[in-house]
């Protein structure tokens, strides 16, 4: 019986001495990745008001529009693309692309023909994130 008691008392010591506690190196925690800042969504407006008719009346053959970016500008800046097409046959009347880091931008639309209704499309796109863009369209006609 003494041998059985001695065996029962010594088994936990044998099991403890056979554990693998110190063989493995201490695991290194995975560092938390630094979050990349996201750009705020592009928001802008055209300062010229087309009035109740929804058509901007242009005196002469050119019109300067003011593109005002109201969102936080991306660090790399924005591209401002303006295209004017005739509603009658969808031919291009005017196209320009401007790069900017300013909130207020002037674009001079030229080559308008009196009496011809056109649609202007203004697209502002972040230079660093091409999917961050906004489009505004409006009608205009020279008198």
User: In the chain, what are the domain boundaries?
Assistant: 44-142
CA distance 67 to 111: 19
Instruction: Name which residue leads in pLDDT, 79 or 6.
Output: 79
Look at residue 48 in the predicted model and tell me its pLDDT.
86
Evaluate whether the domain defined by 44-142 bears CATH number 2.60.40.2550.
Answer: yes
Dump pLDDT digits (tens) for 38-92.
889 999 999 887 777 889 999 999 999 999 999 999 999 999 999 999 999 999 9
* Distance between CA atoms of residues 44 and 71, nearest Å: 7
**pLDDT of 21 strictly over 80:** no
Read off the pLDDT of each residue in 30-36 and give the average, rounded to a whole number.
75
* 82/29 Cα distance (integer angstroms): 51
Cβ atoms 91, 85 nearer than 8 A: yes
Better pLDDT: 5 or 58: 58
Say if CB 58 and CB 112 are below 8 A apart: yes
At 9, the pLDDT band (50, 70, 90 cuts) reads: low
Q: Does the pLDDT value for residue 22 go beyond 60?
A: no
pTM over 0.75: no
**82-93 pLDDT, tens digit each:** 999 999 999 999
**115-142 residue pLDDT tens:** 999 999 999 999 999 999 999 999 999 9
Q: Which two tokens stand for residue 28?
A: 């290194």
């Amino acid at each position: 019986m003494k041998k059985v008691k001695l065996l029962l008392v010594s088994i936990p010591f044998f099991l403890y001495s056979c554990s693998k506690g110190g063989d493995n190196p201490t695991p290194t925690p995975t560092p938390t990745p630094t979050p990349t800042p996201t750009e705020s969504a592009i928001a802008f407006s055209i300062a010229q008001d087309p009035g109740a008719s929804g058509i901007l009346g242009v005196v002469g053959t050119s019109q300067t529009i003011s593109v005002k970016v109201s969102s936080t500008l991306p660090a790399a800046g924005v591209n401002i693309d303006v295209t004017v097409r005739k509603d009658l046959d969808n031919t291009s009347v005017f196209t320009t692309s401007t790069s900017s880091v300013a909130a207020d931008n002037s674009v001079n639309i030229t080559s308008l023909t009196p009496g011809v209704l056109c649609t202007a499309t203004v697209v502002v796109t972040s230079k660093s994130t091409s999917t961050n863009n906004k489009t505004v369209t409006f009608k205009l006609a020279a008198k």
